[in-house]
Structure 1
């Protein structure tokens, strides 16, 4: 790395050191501000072009915005500096042997040829080092990069590189976890002899060792899990069961550790290691529960959930959570069963995530305050202790009941996304009065939308009420008012819609003589997109902007992907007609909007703050990629879950089409606040190949570490983050190309740059 000196930023008089650039970029990444983090890395590299940390920070920022190819190119010089090419040294060794053998050869030409080859080999190693400037942490990070690359590609070479890096990490640092990871990779490579040898070394390191007293619970769990894996590799299943049972008995273990153990066990299974059935009951993923329930009766209504029934409902919720071993929860926060669920989860020490259907003050006025000051205090405490509070919309309620249904879609989608990340499937727990029909966004409505009945748990609110006849009265529970005049959206003017804003990058650089070609470009775009067979509910254009509205998120995602693919193809096909290939910036959003007849144009149009929010996302995204808000991704996920269930019920195959990758929190254009953003892309064959057999090496394959290729970066940059947390960074390497990538105007568009 370059020495820490002082640089003056041209935009201001205040000097900034190298460490300040690094700390600023690191802080922005931790906050999820990936776009801003990249800008900082780009600017910092103007003054410190050899700074590895800024290069890696920039690659992380790029990858987390979905710009995977750009991130891969940026990171390549760092990997080149860390991964030593042994090829020239092996050539020198062979040339030296040949020169010695031919030194006294009677054939002078052959002897001179051997010496010439030796001289050339010496030149190739001049200035090179055989040993990399990398420590165990760096090797470990690179090993994880190659492991993720293998999980994505299924290529044997990635797996071989992964094992080599874990072996180097184990040799350099002696960490048992690196040893067991190298052993697991060896099993997958069918090298069982090395796997057993490594497992034996790990077992010897851990079996008789005392756990340091300052170790955390998670540290103790990791030690036991590593020992258990070594025992499985050595064929001692009974000992492994005892070890994992011991690990399970530890209190306060974060569920991420358990998920990691599950991943390792799955890899061992793939490698042919016998796994005792008992481990299935010992190593379980955390249970995710999404909740819906009846609110407390309003004064003069009911009885459905009278205040006197609170203790009974609380007890039933606690019992069901115990049965499910709930560890992660999602819920709204109305007074009544919602808050009872949240409080029961918090008492368990579980994680709670709250989704608010509309503005905070309106929610209190509509769903909390009528219960009295005690419930309002409990509501405020619940939001303070929740792990996250997400707003389906931050706008006013305005009496539109369908906002509750939209919030339910967000609950459904967010819980499903989280459960998939944790290698499980969510449960729906409902407190329901079993009344016919369903209020919009109520418990019955949510149950109607839930696709997996086997993962549905219902607490019979009416049954609990019948156990207290003194609470029922002479007339019994009143039927809910379900008369909304037909469709609950009809007549309200406010509807839930999916929206797309799209901008054609490069349009402003076109000259008059290019306009005919541009019009041809638009005609061909229309023809290409129409092939997907999706007809928007509304579409409008002005200049280089396109605005599309649809009822559902799934067809909108397909439409956006098709549009991007068509434009990308036309960039090549029309290269001789336009000065530069045109490309797109696309943003997707879902939310409540007002649908009305435009008073001036006389056609249907859409209005509201969510139109503005969708529009403000598009200008600050990366060209050539599709980005979506958290609301859109949640609705898309809920729709995909329903389609999957329908396909299964009909005996049909369901193929997931889209992948949503978390980007972070993005500051929107024109100071329109912040928005959680995902990168949306099609699921590829590589994404579907994780369960495929490991590819055998080609006949001419050389598994030597010298021929390592740069790994896929998109889903593995968290592994590289461990490299940047240490001061033990590798030195040297060419970073000019990396700096050019961050600074080049033609390679990547960056907002504000």
Structure 2
């Protein structure tokens, strides 16, 4: 069973890993490995309050001979502290620091020592922080780093220690050496950069020196569609060559790494080709299946583009088809795909602790332009509204570029298309409620959740329920995210023991964002939502860990472009249904206004002004 749990955990299938831990504990209630792994599943899935309760219920703090069990308590308190503020932050930071100090005393490791040092400093106890920082620098560590990654962390810990002691020169040189030890481990680098930015912000130190160490920047790209040749709405070969040179210079100048966008004829393909030539990772986000996209956005502009499209498609790192719609593109789906692609690039930048860039091939937007509400000009406006860096390369052809072939997105009579953010809720373990307590369960639990929905400042446009499940639909992802957090807190506030209900009950909330069909339900004779995107939202719920909010990549990406009140942590790529492709899922957490975690998310050393 352990191997199954580890495989599920490493693949991101946290719900099944957690369920396996629970099943194993039924037979082996004293197995501390299963208890430890169950708590890790909850931490990784964002269910921090539930993880904290399980940590104490399992009495992991009493297991003094296992380093993992010792460290998980400190890690949990650190996660809770970074989401707190004021006195709560200081108290939890001190508790975390003391637990890390205890782990270090028992294991002698540099990792718990540097975490103790940093948490003491964040808690306002510099003397303790400096003591542990010196231990990191001058203590004797038995183990010699055996891999580049281990060597990286040893040097990174020392760089952090120098920073805590105020020696910026030594911190810079040691951190550079750490990056040289494991140069391609960008995720590890990002973890260090976020930690150091948090410390320099608290200590009031200069952060500009971190800029040079930032990894290559993710970028979103978009541009006008055009054909090649002479004539109206065509671009001469010589103009394409000059445009390609400008794209190459831009990619090099701004240290661009992974790129995200579509692959229409003209600008998209030119940028994608240039990125691939530089060794950048190409991620394609298409609103419809590839064949439909080709018919609308590539084939009409010349056979030469089709061959270049296929060559880029073959080398793409990831191809995301957001819908299974077989119709020609609509303006709504074009904007939807662009929003998701922009969000993906921004989420990637957050993971890498840098700032994303947008590269556009287009003229300056004209508010009176009838095309400003869709496509490239719309993308540019959305990105600019977020205050993110943007490079706009002038389109060298006629001001009015060719557009993709689109059609009105009308459906069958009685139906209309809409973009909706959807939530599915289910109470795991409700089948364990004894029959005689079911009416009480309905009144004390389901009625509480319904009352929470009624009290929302922005109530759902559509709501339905069956058994212990609920389905809610909203206009925007921000509304859905706020509703999900309110429902999570409402459920967490119910005292199951006092209500004589199983304490194992847990609320699972799943979210998705996408195009749906609105029409009348033939059975209930009232408006309802239909389509494959509704099914995606429903299937995610089954993969959600109780106490967590799991959302699709589309939901997380769209939310990233419109709100800083939430953090989306990558869970894994999960097959949510045997008849659906795997989906990348994220755990959603609300961040208090003054939470320290906010400092870790957004700040790059790069200037936040347009390029």
CA distance in 2, matches of 1:347, 1:484: 31
How far off is 1:617 after superposition? 3.4
Alignment of 1:427 with 2:357, yes or no, is: yes
Aligned to 2:326: 396
Question: Is contact 1:228-1:241 (8 Å) kept?
Answer: yes
Aligned to 1:611: 534
Matches within 5 A, 1:5-404: 21-76=1-56, 77=58, 79-83=60-64, 133-134=65-66, 143-153=74-84, 154-156=88-90, 158-164=92-98, 166-167=100-101, 179-188=113-122, 196=130, 199-200=133-134, 202-203=136-137, 216=148, 221-244=152-175, 252-266=183-197, 268-269=199-200, 272=203, 275=205, 279-284=209-214, 287-297=217-227, 303=233, 305=235, 309-368=239-298, 370-372=303-305, 374-383=307-316, 386=317, 388-404=318-334
Alignment of 1:456 with 2:390, yes or no, is: yes
Name the stretch that deviates more: 369-378 or 193-202. Answer: 193-202
CA distance in 1, matches of 2:171, 2:291: 54
Aligned to 2:595: 688
Question: Is contact 2:219-2:358 (8 Å) kept?
Answer: yes
Aligned to 1:556: 480
How far off is 1:410 after superposition? 0.9
How far off is 1:406 after superposition? 0.7
Question: Is contact 2:100-2:115 (8 Å) kept?
Answer: yes
How far off is 1:188 after superposition? 4.5
Question: Is contact 1:296-1:306 (8 Å) kept?
Answer: no
> Residue 416 of structure 1: which of 346, 357, 364 is its match?
346
Question: Is contact 1:501-1:615 (8 Å) kept?
Answer: yes
How far off is 1:261 after superposition? 3.5
Aligned to 1:718: none
Residue 325 and residue 561 in structure 1: after superposition, are their counterparts in 2 closer, same or farther (change >3 A)?
A: same
Residue 168 and residue 311 in structure 1: after superposition, are their counterparts in 2 closer, same or farther (change >3 A)?
A: farther
Matched position secondary structure for 1:456: strand
How far off is 1:378 after superposition? 1.8
How far off is 1:257 after superposition? 3.8
Which structure has the greater CA radius of gyration? 1
Question: Is contact 2:423-2:511 (8 Å) kept?
Answer: yes
Question: Is contact 2:363-2:399 (8 Å) kept?
Answer: no
Matched position secondary structure for 1:27: helix
Matches within 5 A, 1:635-714: 635-640=558-563, 656-668=564-576, 671-684=579-592, 688=595
Matches within 5 A, 1:544-583: 546-562=470-486
Residue 224 and residue 38 in structure 1: after superposition, are their counterparts in 2 closer, same or farther (change >3 A)?
A: closer
Alignment of 1:445 with 2:378, yes or no, is: yes
Residue 458 and residue 158 in structure 1: after superposition, are their counterparts in 2 closer, same or farther (change >3 A)?
A: same
CA distance in 2, matches of 1:183, 1:567: 36
* 1:636-688 CA distance string (max 9 Å, x none): 33333xxxxxxxxxxxxxxx544444443444357555433334454347x72
Residue 615 and residue 144 in structure 1: after superposition, are their counterparts in 2 closer, same or farther (change >3 A)?
A: closer
Aligned to 1:499: 422
Higher RCO (CA < 8 A, seq sep 6+): 1
CA distance in 1, matches of 2:459, 2:478: 13
Matched position secondary structure for 1:461: coil
Question: Is contact 1:401-1:441 (8 Å) kept?
Answer: yes
Name the stretch that deviates more: 327-336 or 560-569. Answer: 560-569
CA distance in 2, matches of 1:398, 1:610: 18
Matched position secondary structure for 1:639: coil
CA RMSD of aligned residues (A): 4.8
CA distance in 1, matches of 2:547, 2:119: 36
Residue 40 and residue 318 in structure 1: after superposition, are their counterparts in 2 closer, same or farther (change >3 A)?
A: same
Alignment of 1:588 with 2:521, yes or no, is: no
How far off is 1:460 after superposition? 0.9
CA distance in 2, matches of 1:541, 1:399: 33
Question: Is contact 1:529-1:559 (8 Å) kept?
Answer: yes
Unaligned runs of 5+ in 2: 600-611
How far off is 1:449 after superposition? 1.9
How far off is 1:380 after superposition? 2.7
Question: Is contact 1:554-1:639 (8 Å) kept?
Answer: yes
Question: Is contact 2:410-2:416 (8 Å) kept?
Answer: no
Residue 221 and residue 57 in structure 1: after superposition, are their counterparts in 2 closer, same or farther (change >3 A)?
A: closer
CA distance in 1, matches of 2:548, 2:134: 48
How far off is 1:147 after superposition? 3.6
CA distance in 1, matches of 2:151, 2:379: 41
Q: TM-score, normalised by structure 2?
A: 0.77
Aligned to 2:603: none
CA distance in 2, matches of 1:427, 1:74: 41
How far off is 1:402 after superposition? 2.1
Q: TM-score, normalised by structure 1?
A: 0.64
Question: Is contact 2:263-2:309 (8 Å) kept?
Answer: no
